[in-house]
Structure 1
C-alpha cells in the first residue's frame, strides 16, 4: 500500500516518480509473507536467499517510494529474526538458515535503516514510536559488531557459528559499518541514550579505512572496494577525488556502467548506482547523473532491473532481476533528487558531514604508537 503523503523521487530525463514506484513494486512482488525480502524470486528452480544487509537496503527503498506498510513489515521481520547475540544469520533460503555465521556489516546496517526510517517518517507521527521499538535491536546489533573490532580499529567480517571470529576484515564491509556507526550514534543521541564509545569506535574505524589498506584482505579486483570508502563516508575531499580517479578506467565502461570486478566483462546496475551515490557524495554530480542515465539499459519494462550485463557475450548475467539492484536504483534516484528527508544519508548524519573527524588520526587508532598485526579486542 502506497502512502498518500509520499513523494517518490524523480530524475528529470531519466526516471519519473511513477518509474520509481514501479521499481519499488517489483521489490514488493518478491517480498515473502514473513516480510523478508530475498535477492530474487526462484530463478530456474533456484530460490533467492535473504541477508540482513540487502534486506535493509530494500526496506529503505520501499520507504522512499512511499510503500511504508511493506517497509515496516520488513523491519518487523528483521526485529523478530535477530539472535540473542545481536546478529543475524548470513543467509536464509525460504525461511531456513543456510549460512549461520553472523557478519558484522549485516548486523550494523540495521542502524542505517532505522535512522533513515526515522528521517523519512518522523514527521508523520509514528517515526518516533518506530525508532523506540527498534532501538533494542539496533543496540544489540551494534554491540555484536563492535565485539569484532580490533585494537587498531578494523572490524572482523564474521563470527562463525561456533563463536570463533574470522582472521580478517573487509574494506567494503568496514566502510559500510562506518556509516552504520554514525547513524547509530545519531539515533542514540536522538533517543536520549548517548553512546560515546560508539562514536570513538566510528572515528577509529574511519581512520583505518582511510589510511591503513594493510588492515584489510585484498579484494582490490572488486569495484566495491574501490568506491565504498567514499560511499560509506571515511574518505572525502581531495582523497575521495584521487581514489575515484585512480580506479575509474579499471571499473567504468563508457556507455555501459560500472564493472562488478575489474577483470571480467560484466557491468552491474547495483554497483553502478552505488557509484552514482559515491560520486554525488563527493560532489561530482555531473558524472553521477551521466552514470545513472547510462545504467538504465538494464531496466525491465515492469520497472525491475536486470542484475548485470555481460558485454562480450551480450546477455544479461546472471539471468535474474534482483531486489537489491532495484533498491540501489531507488536510493540513487533519491540522492540525485535531493528532496526527501533521507536523501542526504550518504553525505551527512544528523547535520554532521560524513568524513574524517578530529579524532580520526594515528593516535586514535594507535598506529602511531605500536605496530599491531591482528589486534583483536579482548572481548572476543
Structure 2
C-alpha cells in the first residue's frame, strides 16, 4: 500500500530519515495496486464496468457523464442509459456499443449473463435486506482525492433477494476482471490493471464458493503457469502473464494465500482439482519454499505484505509482520491438508511440522502483545489480525478480541475503517477491502450481526451503479476505482459464510 503508519512521537518507533521517507512514499503503491492517479491522467472515471454475455467477457468503464439515471439490466453487465438505450459489449466483441433497447444483441447479452450466474449460486438471497443506498450529491462535484461524484443512485434493478443485487454485481464484475488466460485483474485502470497473486487467490476462492468452478480453475491455472521454479511469484503480473518489473520484491504472503485458495478449491470440488494436474506442483513448490523460509525463531523472514511497503518502514523492521505470518500459517496448514488428502504423507508431515513451529512462534511473539501488526509491546493494530481466525485459522478467543480491538482503533466517523492504526495516509478515507475482511472474519466466526452491519455499510457505499469501489471518502463518495476485485471477492465469501460454514484449514 502507498499509505502506512508514520511516527507520532512514540519512543520505540524507528527513526527514518526525511529523504528516505520521501523516497518511500514516492515508490510505494497501495494494496491491489491502488495508487493515486497520475497527474494528467483521467479522473476517477467509472461507477462500473460495461460488459456483455459473450466470451471473453470483455468490459470497459462507463463514463461518469453517462451514469446519471443509468442502471444495469437485471442480472447482467449491460447498462440501460437514461435515454433508454443500452450500452453493452456484444457477443464476440471487445468494445462497448450503444444500441436501442429492442436490439436483439441486448436480449442475447442479458440471457448469457443470467445463464452464467445460474451455473453457480448468488449468495445473499436468504439474508435480511440491506438498507437502501444513501443518495449521492448532485450535480457532479469532484472530491479532492477522488472521482467526480455522479447522480443520486437510482433504485437498483436487482436480481430478487436481499443482498443478492450486491452479490450478483460482484460476481459479474469479477468475471469482467478475469481474462481468458485466468489473469484476474485488480481493477480496470492504470496501476490497478495488473494481476496480483494475492488478489487472484481470493478471486479463485470466491468463484469456488459460488460454484463457478471453471473460472476458479482458470485463475489457479494462471497462477501455476506464472509461478517461478523457486516457488515464488512476482509481486504482480501483466494481463498476458509477464511479470511487472518495477523493482518490487516477491511478497511472501502471496504464497500463503495461493496455497489456501488451492486447498479451498479442492475441498469444494475434489474431482476438478484432481483433473487439474498443475495444482500439485504449484502447491509443492510454494509450500516447500515457505517451510524452508522459517528461521530459528520459527517465523518467516521480513517481506512486504498486503500493504506492499518495505519491511524497513515497519515498527520492527527486521521481523515479519502479522500480514506475512497469518497467510504463511494458513498456507502451510492448507498445503499439509491438501497433501494428506491426496495421498502424500511425507509432504503432509513436513508442512504440518512447519505450520506447528510457526503457530508456536506466533503464540509466543504476537499473542502476549495482543496481535499487533509488528511484534512490539504497544505495537499498532491493523486488519491482518483477521488472517489468524476463521476462515483462515481455527477459532481463538484472543484473536477474536484482537479483531474487535483493531476494528475499534481503525474506525472512522463515516462508518468505515482505515487500513491500520496511526495510518499516515488520508485519515478520512475508508478502505473497502479492510471493511470486508472484518465482515468475513465476523461471518466465519458466527458473529452474524457484526458481519451484516459491515455488509450494510458496503452496500450503502457502492457506486451509483451498485459497484463496490476501493475507497470511500468522508462524504460517502467513491474515492478510487470501481470495481475492486478483492473487495468483490471478500463480499462474496462473507455472504457465503453467512449461509453455510466455510471450511478452515486443520491446525
* TM-score, with length taken from structure 2: 0.59
Of the candidates 398, 406, 425, which is equivalent to residue 239 of structure 1?
Answer: 398
Q: Which residue of structure 1 aligns with residue 252 of structure 2?
A: 104
Change (3 A) 1:225 1:126: closer
Cα RMSD (Å): 2.9
Of the candidates 250, 257, 261, which is equivalent to residue 113 of structure 1?
Answer: 261
* Cα pair 1:112 1:183 within 8 Å, conserved: yes
Q: Which residue of structure 1 aligns with residue 224 of structure 2?
A: 79
Q: Distance in 2 between matches of 1:27 and 1:104?
A: 24
Change (3 A) 1:6 1:47: closer
Q: Which residue of structure 2 aligns with residue 202 of structure 1?
A: 355
Of the candidates 317, 320, 340, which is equivalent to residue 189 of structure 1?
Answer: 340
Of the candidates 49, 52, 56, which is equivalent to residue 197 of structure 2?
Answer: 52
Q: Which residue of structure 2 aligns with residue 142 of structure 1?
A: 287
Secondary structure in 1 matching 2:244: strand
Q: Distance in 2 between matches of 1:297 and 1:109?
A: 29
Equivalence map 1:17-96=2 (5 Å): 17=164, 19-43=166-190, 46-94=191-239, 95-96=242-243
Equivalence map 1:331-350=2 (5 Å): 331-338=493-500, 343-345=501-503, 348-349=504-505
Q: Which runs of 5+ in 2 are unaligned?
A: 1-114, 131-161, 305-316
Of 280-289 and 171-180, deviating more is 280-289
Of the candidates 120, 129, 132, which is equivalent to residue 275 of structure 2?
Answer: 129
* Cα pair 1:269 1:329 within 8 Å, conserved: no
Secondary structure in 2 matching 1:76: helix
Offset of residue 77 of structure 1? 1.1
Q: Which residue of structure 1 aligns with residue 386 of structure 2?
A: 227
Q: Distance in 2 between matches of 1:316 and 1:83?
A: 37
Equivalence map 1:206-355=2 (5 Å): 206-213=359-366, 217=374, 221=380, 223-231=382-390, 236-253=395-412, 256-263=415-422, 264-300=427-463, 302-311=465-474, 314-338=476-500, 343-345=501-503, 348-349=504-505, 352=506
Change (3 A) 1:136 1:109: same
Equivalence map 1:136-175=2 (5 Å): 136-158=281-303, 167-175=318-326
Q: Distance in 2 between matches of 1:246 and 1:63?
A: 31
2:126 counterpart of 1:13: no
Offset of residue 318 of structure 1? 2.7
Q: Distance in 2 between matches of 1:281 and 1:42?
A: 32
Q: Distance in 2 between matches of 1:234 and 1:63?
A: 19
For the pair shown, the structure with the greater C-alpha radius of gyration is: 2
Change (3 A) 1:229 1:68: closer
Q: Which residue of structure 2 aligns with residue 363 of structure 1?
A: none
Q: Residue deviations 1:148-167, cap 9 Å, x none?
A: 211211112449xxxxxx94
Change (3 A) 1:144 1:223: same
* Cα pair 1:240 1:282 within 8 Å, conserved: no
* Cα pair 2:185 2:485 within 8 Å, conserved: yes
Secondary structure in 2 matching 1:66: coil
Of 12-21 and 290-299, deviating more is 12-21
Q: Which runs of 5+ in 1 are unaligned?
A: 160-165, 355-380
Offset of residue 75 of structure 1? 1.4
